[in-house]
Structure 1
Amino acid sequence: MISNFNPNIRTVQSTIAKHKGDQPFDGWEELWQKGGDTLIWDRGIPNPALEDTLIERRATIGEPATTDAQGNLHRKKALVPGCGRGVDVLLLASFGYDAYGLEYSKTALKECQEEERVNADKYTVRDEAIGRGKVMFVQGDFFKDDWLEGLGLSRNCFDLVYDYTFFCALDPSMRPKWALRHTQLLAPSPRGNLICLEFPRHKKSSLQGPPWGSTSEAYMEHLSHPGEEIPYNSNGECKSDPLREVSNGGLERVAYWQPARTHQVGIDASGEVLDRVSVWRRR
């Protein structure tokens, strides 16, 4: 369970707090350089909820590749912002996506390359007819376009975006920008799907982060009204209006469920999974 009494969490929080302002991500580079137990978000393996989604929810998110009339295979592009060690990127590639892992930390990118080199056999191809997609790890700021341009890509090119420990790592003040940026990166509907593994839902929103606790309503309000300042109460809880219309350019939630599996940190003492999976598309 997430606990603010964990000394490693306190180290993470104090390090990130030193780097607010123009360079909010520099603290993550410092943490990756420290390594060891400081990397509290690094589970070393992909989240089982993502693996199950890729297998069981294809009717919702589509296939990882398509074939044209001439029989040519066209792979979809998947993006993992704040990809950490890159395990989710490698998993997506094993399903057939051309997978892009975005990291601000140069040290984390070295860990991605090492994970790919040493543990490639863990990410076996899931469908021989589709094969493995390419893997690309890139250093950059999620909120800027220079990394896109460096890859020769344009906005709204990603068919799948996966967000797990990225939303909860950001200061809540950055959530309007986070939601707006997803609308700038995600391909048009129905091709483009944003998968959010919502965590930590069990942590009180009033407690210091990262990770910042959040309810599902916060995802709903921000993604359906990207760029807007969303009101929060004194307890840090999002004030949601279930009757409020999705804004022009906002994302719609097309699926939402309690996964059967997730990392242990998202499971309570009784064995109940507290995380949720939501899927979003551009309106």
Structure 2
Amino acid sequence: MSPGLSGSPRQDDSGRWEEKWAAKQIPWDQGSAHPALVDLLETRSAELGIPSSGRAFVPGCGTGYDVLLFAQRGLDTIGIDLSKTGVAVAQNWLRERSSDDPALAERMRVEEADFFAYAPKEPFDLIYDFTFLCALSPSLRHHWASTITRLSRPSPNTTLITLMFPLDDVASGPPWSLSMEAYHELLDGEWELVHLGEIRPEWGTRIGERRGDMIGVWKRRVR
């Protein structure tokens, strides 16, 4: 795990996530990249200026479905996760899907790391958050927002895609409830929402009884 930065928070419950991966209790794993993300990339990328080159970042990448998706689009993509077992699962899964394509394999990497302490050599042009913010304690949300900004390239082309889930009002978690108001409070200072899309019912994220999601595209504000 990456060493902590001075004064930075730490992701909580690292042992809890390792236990879940080791026991294969991973209800957040949807089995593939989210169809709403795939559709967005296929139909709106040019209009929204979503990068197809440069560097992409997927915190809490799980099995690596999104790492593969962005790498297939031409982005050098890094995913991170707290769980050693989860990282091994993702590395093996990605290796199997790029065994006959060395160039694709070169564009994908998964590391065991703490999101708040992560310090890459270069910033990212595209960041994707799905079932990551909702897994963090609500007390860490402002640290999430500042870390997202720190890791992103200070350019008006830099893109943050948020698949916002669960948009409900449940007191317990994780996943912890989110709202559009919460996203705007966290991001509006450094990011501008340029697209907000509803998700077709058959594509909706489901973790147990939790429901409610939308997909947002944000651009970095540069002053």
TM-score, with length taken from structure 2: 0.83
Contact 1:199 1:275 in 2 (8 A): yes
Q: 1:240-251 maps to which residues of 2 (within 5 A)? A: 247=189, 250-251=190-191
Aligned counterparts of 1:169 and 1:214: Cα–Cα separation in 2? 11
Aligned equivalent of 1:220 = 184
Aligned equivalent of 1:179 = 145
Could you say what the CA RMSD is over the residues aligned between the two structures, in angstroms? 2.4
Aligned equivalent of 1:252 = 192
Q: Quick check: 1:168 aligned with 2:166?
A: no
Aligned equivalent of 1:136 = 109
SS of 1:27's partner is: helix
Cα offset for 1:210? Answer: 0.5
Deviations 1:189-235 (A, max 9, x none): 3221000001111x3242x10111111111111112xxxxxxxxxxx
Cα offset for 1:165? Answer: 0.5
Cα offset for 1:265? Answer: 1.6
Deviations 1:137-173 (A, max 9, x none): 1111110135x2xxxx13xx11100001001111111
Aligned counterparts of 2:147 and 2:195: Cα–Cα separation in 1? 21
Question: Which residue identity lines up with residue 184 of structure 2 in the other structure?
Answer: M
Aligned equivalent of 1:96 = 74
Aligned equivalent of 1:277 = 215
Residues 26, 43 of structure 1: alpha-carbon distance in 2 compared, 3 angstrom cutoff: same
Aligned counterparts of 2:175 and 2:170: Cα–Cα separation in 1? 10
Aligned equivalent of 1:28 = 17
Cα offset for 1:63? Answer: 4.0
Equivalent of residue 40 in structure 1, options 23, 27, 30: 27
Cα offset for 1:94? Answer: 1.1
Residues 185, 264 of structure 1: alpha-carbon distance in 2 compared, 3 angstrom cutoff: closer
Aligned equivalent of 1:72 = none
Any gaps of 5 or more consecutive residues in structure 1? 1-20, 66-75, 125-130, 225-246
Structure label with greater radius of gyration: 1
Contact 2:162 2:217 in 1 (8 A): yes
Aligned equivalent of 2:91 = 113
Any gaps of 5 or more consecutive residues in structure 2? 1-9
Q: Identity of aligned pairs, percent?
A: 38
Q: Quick check: 1:62 aligned with 2:50?
A: yes
Contact 1:258 1:274 in 2 (8 A): no
Cα offset for 1:264? Answer: 5.0
Residues 282, 101 of structure 1: alpha-carbon distance in 2 compared, 3 angstrom cutoff: same
Aligned counterparts of 2:114 and 2:86: Cα–Cα separation in 1? 14
Cα offset for 1:258? Answer: 0.8
Taking CA–CA contacts closer than 8 Å with sequence separation of 6 or more, which of the two structures ends up with the larger relative contact order?
2
Aligned counterparts of 1:175 and 1:140: Cα–Cα separation in 2? 18
Residues 145, 39 of structure 1: alpha-carbon distance in 2 compared, 3 angstrom cutoff: closer
TM-score, with length taken from structure 1: 0.66
Question: Which residue identity lines up with residue 108 of structure 2 in the other structure?
Answer: V
Aligned counterparts of 1:57 and 1:92: Cα–Cα separation in 2? 15
Aligned counterparts of 1:64 and 1:172: Cα–Cα separation in 2? 32
Q: Quick check: 1:204 aligned with 2:169?
A: yes
Aligned equivalent of 1:84 = 62
Cα offset for 1:27? Answer: 1.5
